[in-house]
Amino acid sequence: MDYSKQIQDIAAKLFTDGKIDVFVGYRMNGFDDNQVPAVITDPKEVSTLVFTEKSVFNLSNYLKADHTRNKRVGLVVKGCDSRSLNLLLTESQVKRDKLYIIGIACEGVVDDKGQKVQNCMECIIPDAVVYDEILGTPKGKKDYIVNADIKALAEKGLVERREYFEEIFENCIRCNACRNSCPLCYCTKCCIDQETATIYNGSNTSSSAFHALMTWSLHLAGRCVDCRNCEKACPSHLPLHLLHKQNEKVIFGNFQNHLAGVEEGDRGAFYKYSLKDPDDFIM
């Protein structure tokens, strides 16, 4: 999966045609074989753009940044990225006519060791769902697989699970990198940032990490697209996907196989309801 040449050509053409002001893609980080996002405003820098299976970041996160707001943007999206972009479009955060989207029929990205990452192994929609042009051959939808870590956790006892998660919340340093790396967290003032209001948490302790991460994951439930930008950003390498995948599993299983961002105009599982939703857990 190497589309570097095609993306360079498309970006150069977009700049010469005057269709975009900014192009958001990937470039090499300059010290090893990993890549970092590239926010390009100068057409001369187009030759630095690359796209391989090491292009891990979800670039739709950069649509909320200073450089791209209210500008015409060219953007590269993989399958999961395009779902989050779809949600941003639905939630009126970006305008479709200001975007030129290069979709990728993704074959999965790899981690530092060259192994395919877990979310790509379990990926349901590898092809971009929203695009102006698509690179690669679309492979179509796959079946939903329940995350292996969630399955393993469900088999553990209550005390064991509590101990495991206590460790997670203790090792969280509350840097908010997960929240800031999430393309769908675009609130101008996040509820977990409000340290002056007494009901929120200003301290940097495990109890406030619990509060922040739980609130954050529940606010993303039914919207999370499993791009794992949060997990890649975490400096403590916490398995944050557990929280999101658990919500995804419950939502997919109970709410008519709902998956976030697949269809245009679909706002997320908590913005709609069905009369057939499960009721047996309520007295």
Partner 1 sequence: MEAEVKDKIVSIEKPELVAPPDWKPVIMGILCNWCSYAGSDLTGTSRMQYPPNIRIIRVPCSSRVDPWFIIKALQTTADGVLISGCHPGDCHYISGNYYARRRFLVTKELLKMVGFHEHRVQYSWVSAAEGAKFAQVVKKVTEDVVKLGPLHLYKKENFSK
Partner 2 sequence: MSFSTFVTDKAGLQKLYEAIISKYETYAPVEKFGKYDYKKVSSLKECDPDSPIAMTMSVKPLFFPRSSKIMKYEANSAGTSIRETDQDPLAGQRVILGVKHCDARGLQVLEAVNKWDYIDSDFLKRRANTVILSNRCDKADTHCFCTSLDYDVENLDAPDVAIVNGTNGKIYVQARTEKGETFLKENSSEPMANRITNDELQMTNCEEDLTKQYEAFLSSFRLKMDYKDVNERMAKRFDSPAFEEASRNCVSCNTCAFICPTCHCFKISDEKIKDTGVRYKSYDSCNNVYFTLEAGGHNPRPAKYRRWRQRSMHKFVYYKERFGVNLCVGCGHCAISCPVNISIFEVVNHVASAPIES
Residue 259 CB, nearest distance to partner 2 (Å)? 25
Considering the complex, state which of residue 1 and residue 150 has its C-beta at the smaller distance from partner 1. Answer: 150
176 binds partner 2 (CB under 8 A): yes
2 binds partner 2 (CB under 8 A): no
246 binds partner 2 (CB under 8 A): no
Residue 84 CB, nearest distance to partner 1 (Å)? 19
Q: How far is CA 138 from the centre of its chain?
A: 20
Number of residues that bind partner 2 (CB under 8 A): 44
Residue 29 CB, nearest distance to partner 2 (Å)? 5
174 binds partner 2 (CB under 8 A): yes
Dist CA 41 CA 67 (whole Å): 9
Long-range CB contacts for residues 144-149, cutoff 8 Å, separation at least 24 = 144/252, 144/257, 144/259, 146/249, 147/118, 147/122, 147/241, 147/245, 147/248, 147/249, 148/118, 148/122, 149/118, 149/239, 149/241, 149/242, 149/245
- Residues lying near partner 1 in the complex (CB under 8 A) are found at 150, 153-154, 158-159, 161-166, 169, 191, 199, 203, 205-207, 210-211, 214-215, 217-219, 221-222, 242-243, 246-247, 250-251, 254-255, 269-271, 273-275, 277-279, 281-283
**Residue 54: CA atoms inside 13 Å, Cβ hemisphere, count?**
16
